[in-house]
């Protein structure tokens, strides 16, 4: 066998180095990249249990999940392609690490908790930044509020299982230091821009009824006095199998199908 072919076969059979794909970048625990220049985090002890990431050889089976949990870890999330965020007592970490299907167990670099948009702004801080801190379920918000002192922080129990979400407006001059302090807290899951939501109902009125608008609008359903008050409405995508046992209507039959491709579209009724 030619040497080049043997080398190619060895490379193809070699195990793929573990890695995680995050919004903030790809993390390779065996060859970690240095933190960004704006990050100046410090090691902060956990309040009780550690938040670590487990990388498995393959996606965990039901039995392997059971063994992880029997070792003392709680699986919280999945991180592609084969990563799992776990909450584990410090004394149980070695038991989890010894499981035969575990390739790596450790803490994520703290700066990877920061949304890429905020990380870019930290490189050249200017205007104040409104951000949201996501706290892990079951953890208090006290240390987060301390790190955001003077930033008009407001906490609300709005996440999974009433987990805290803290919103604050951070001055540009404090952004990098504040992000570093927040990301260093083990109980912080992530830090992201605080988005402002607004309703688009006025646009949806004509888009859903005729696609003629916005001025003037054509609303043929409203024009017939049909406003949906006190009614239950279902809208199904064209890919849905409406003859499935979960969706089949044995009384009224198949749903009406809209095939109109150009405005104005006629109103469809049952």
Please report, for residues 38, 42, 89, 215, 243, the alpha-carbon distance to residue 56 in angstroms, rounded to integers and kept in the order given. 32, 28, 19, 56, 39
Contact status, residue 264 vs residue 212, Cβ threshold 8 Å: yes
The first and second tokens of residue 106, run together, are 């450790």
Which of 161-165, 211-215, 260-264 bottoms out in mean pLDDT, i.e. has the lowest?
260-264
Asked whether the bond before 238 is cis by omega within 30 degrees of 0, the reply is no
Q: What is the CATH T-level fold of the domain 19-109, as seen in this structure?
A: Alpha-Beta Plaits (3.30.70)
**What integer is the mean pLDDT of 207-212?**
82
Please say if the pLDDT value at position 243 is more than 50. Answer: yes
- Name the residue ranges covered by the structural domains of the chain: 19-109, 112-193, 199-270
Please say if the pLDDT value at position 162 is more than 70. Answer: yes
Predicted confidence (pLDDT) per residue in 55-106, tens digit? 999 999 999 999 999 999 999 989 888 899 999 999 999 999 999 999 999 9
Please say if the pLDDT value at position 6 is more than 50. Answer: no
Q: What is the Cα–Cα distance from 3 to 252, expressed in whole angstroms?
A: 70
Which of 13-17, 35-39, 255-259 bottoms out in mean pLDDT, i.e. has the lowest?
13-17
Give the residue, 168 or 203, on which the prediction is more confident: 168
Closest CA to 85 of 186, 16, 180: 186
- What pLDDT score was predicted for residue 269? 57
Give the residue, 125 or 143, on which the prediction is more confident: 143
Percentage, residues of the chain above pLDDT 90 = 49
Decide which of 3.30.365.10, 3.30.70.260, 3.40.50.300, 3.40.50.2300 is the CATH code for 112-193. Answer: 3.30.70.260
CA 225, 227, 232, 234 torsion: positive or negative?
Answer: positive
Burial code of 45-68, b = ≥16 C-beta within 10 A, e = fewer? ebeebbbbbbbbeeebeeebeebb
Which of 2-16, 22-36, 232-246 bottoms out in mean pLDDT, i.e. has the lowest?
2-16
- What pLDDT score was predicted for residue 11? 38
Average pLDDT, rounded, for the chain: 85
Can 19-109 and 112-193 be said to share one CATH topology? yes
Please say if the pLDDT value at position 197 is more than 90. Answer: no
């Amino acid at each position: 066998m030619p040497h080049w072919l043997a080398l190619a076969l060895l490379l193809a059979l070699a195990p793929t180095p573990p890695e995680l794909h995050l919004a903030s970048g790809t993390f390779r625990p065996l060859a970690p990249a240095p933190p960004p220049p704006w990050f100046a985090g410090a090691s902060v002890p956990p309040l009780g249990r550690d938040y670590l990431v487990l990388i498995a050889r393959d996606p965990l089976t039901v039995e392997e999940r059971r063994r992880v949990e029997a070792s003392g870890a709680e699986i919280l999330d999945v991180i592609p392609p084969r990563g799992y965020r776990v909450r584990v007592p410090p004394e149980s970490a070695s038991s989890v690490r010894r499981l035969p299907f575990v390739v790596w167990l450790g803490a994520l670099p703290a700066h990877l908790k920061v949304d890429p948009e905020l990380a870019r702004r930290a490189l050249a801080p200017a205007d104040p930044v409104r951000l949201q801190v996501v706290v892990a379920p079951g953890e208090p918000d006290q240390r987060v509020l301390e790190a955001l002192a003077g930033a008009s922080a407001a906490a609300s129990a709005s996440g999974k299982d009433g987990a805290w979400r803290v919103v604050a407006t951070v001055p540009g001059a404090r952004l990098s230091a504040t992000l570093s302090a927040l990301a260093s807290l083990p109980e912080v899951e992530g830090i992201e821009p605080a988005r402002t939501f607004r309703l688009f109902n006025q646009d949806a009125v004509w888009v859903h009824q005729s696609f003629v608008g916005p001025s003037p609008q054509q609303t043929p359903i409203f024009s017939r006095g049909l406003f949906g008050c006190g009614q239950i409405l279902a809208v199904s995508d064209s890919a849905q199998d409406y003859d499935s046992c979960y969706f089949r209507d044995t009384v009224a039959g198949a749903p009406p199908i809209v095939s109109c491709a150009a405005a104005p579209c006629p109103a469809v009724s049952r």
